[in-house]
Amino acid sequence: MITIITIYIIGFFLTLTFFKYFGVKIGFDYDNRKMEWDDWESNEQAFTAFSIFWPVIIPMILIIGIFKMIFKFGKWYLKK
């Protein structure tokens, strides 16, 4: 049980640090007021929530990334 809690805490700080340095660069900019459709008040609120829910978000991002990579490879392969 202690191991799971330790992994969660480390993951929380790693994802929070990642979003702090790279969040806006990869397209997560909730301070931009042009985006009227979001529910976040600021990047700090969004990045903290993403970091709290990292055990759910990271596997989803990996699955989406794998599918995009497979489709991109298929598109590249069929064009050759």
The tens digit of pLDDT for each residue in 24-62 reads 777 776 666 555 556 767 777 777 887 888 888 878 888
Chain position carrying tokens 């991109």: 72
The domain of 50 spans 2-79
Is-above-0.75 flag for pTM?
A: no
Q: How many domains does the chain have?
A: 1
Residue 8 pLDDT > 90: no
pLDDT > 70: percent of the chain: 85
Q: Rounded to the nearest 5°, which phi and psi values hold at 39?
A: -100, 0
Nearest to 54 by CA among 3, 9, 24: 9
Give the pLDDT confidence score for residue 61 in this predicted structure. Answer: 83
Q: How far apart are CA 18 and CA 43, in angstroms?
A: 13
Q: Would you call 1 helix, strand, or coil by DSSP?
A: coil
